[in-house]
Amino acid sequence: MFSSQFYTKEVMTTENIVINRLANYIAQILIANSKQKLDIAKIVYGLEIFIINFSKFLIIYGVSLLFRQLIKTLIIHFAFILTKRYSFGIHAKSSTVCTLYCLTILVFIPYILIHYFINNYLTLLIFTIIISIHYKYAPADTVNNPIIGRENRIKLKVKSIVCVFSLALITLCITNSNIRNLLILGSVFQTISLLPITYKILKRRRNNYEIYE
């Protein structure tokens, strides 16, 4: 059975093994019904990512619907993805941990904190801090995703800052305090994943590109 590089020995948990076996099973069916020669390694890798993301999507948005938080979850998720697009950051070691974290930041915390008022001055201060963190630490890599090449890292840093700056402008132009709060929360939660203290607390290695350069 093929085991993709998506998992390291450190994170090959029972959950990951089940996902890998399911991906292998589907891959074997696809290969058996294909007249072309297919790369099983690439197929399994792609299927693992699809299975993980699809299952997380169903759980997170299913719970969001249950709590009548769908629009709020979509807004905060938009801010989170836009902030993460080029900055990357630390990942959970398993799909279960990642799903629980996403449920917390995309559904439960917004459900509690949505009604706090944040004015323009505080919004500007928060985004100034966020942009400073992205300038200092983005892009943040992982063991499985080292960001090779100084020029590549600089380009990603610039794009990351542009994304956050654009989100800041959007947020400042919005008068609805609930939507504003959600956009701020989404960007804050993602930015936390870039901080060295976060890597230290979770006992992960930073700047993994140094091994290859």
50 and 29, same structural domain? yes
120 and 36, same structural domain? no
Last residue of a domain, one of 63, 81, 96: 63
Question: Quick check: 17 pLDDT over 50?
Answer: yes
User: What are the tens digits of pLDDT across the range 99-126?
Assistant: 899 999 999 888 877 777 788 999 999 9
How many domains, in total, are found in the chain?
Answer: 2
184 and 87, same structural domain? yes
Question: Quick check: 91 pLDDT over 90?
Answer: no
Q: Which residue has the higher pLDDT, 211 or 159?
A: 159
156 and 127, same structural domain? yes
User: What are the tens digits of pLDDT across the range 30-70?
Assistant: 777 776 776 777 888 888 888 888 889 999 999 999 989 99
In angstroms, the CA 83 to CA 127 distance is 11
In angstroms, the CA 127 to CA 174 distance is 14
- pLDDT-derived band of residue 21, with 50, 70 and 90 as boundaries? confident
Residue range of the domain that includes 24: 1-63
Write the DSSP string, 18-38.
HHHHHHHHHHHHHHHT-SS--
- pLDDT-derived band of residue 148, with 50, 70 and 90 as boundaries? very high
pLDDT of res. 32:
78
107 and 149, same structural domain? yes
- Window from 63-67, 113-117, 127-131, 173-177 with minimum mean pLDDT: 113-117
57 and 7, same structural domain? yes
pLDDT of res. 9:
41
Q: Which residue has the higher pLDDT, 194 or 97?
A: 194
- pLDDT-derived band of residue 4, with 50, 70 and 90 as boundaries? very low
Q: Which residue has the higher pLDDT, 41 or 85?
A: 85
In angstroms, the CA 200 to CA 212 distance is 21
38 and 119, same structural domain? no
Q: How far is CA 190 from the centre of its chain?
A: 7
Question: Quick check: 84 pLDDT over 90?
Answer: yes
- pLDDT-derived band of residue 7, with 50, 70 and 90 as boundaries? very low
Global pTM value: 0.82
184 and 135, same structural domain? yes
In angstroms, the CA 111 to CA 77 distance is 14
27 and 90, same structural domain? no
pLDDT of res. 12:
55
187 and 133, same structural domain? yes
Query: Which residue in the block uniquely carries the two structure tokens 């140094």?
Result: 210
pLDDT of res. 13:
63
Question: Quick check: 5 pLDDT over 60?
Answer: no
In angstroms, the CA 195 to CA 130 distance is 11
Written as one letter, the residue type at 132 is S
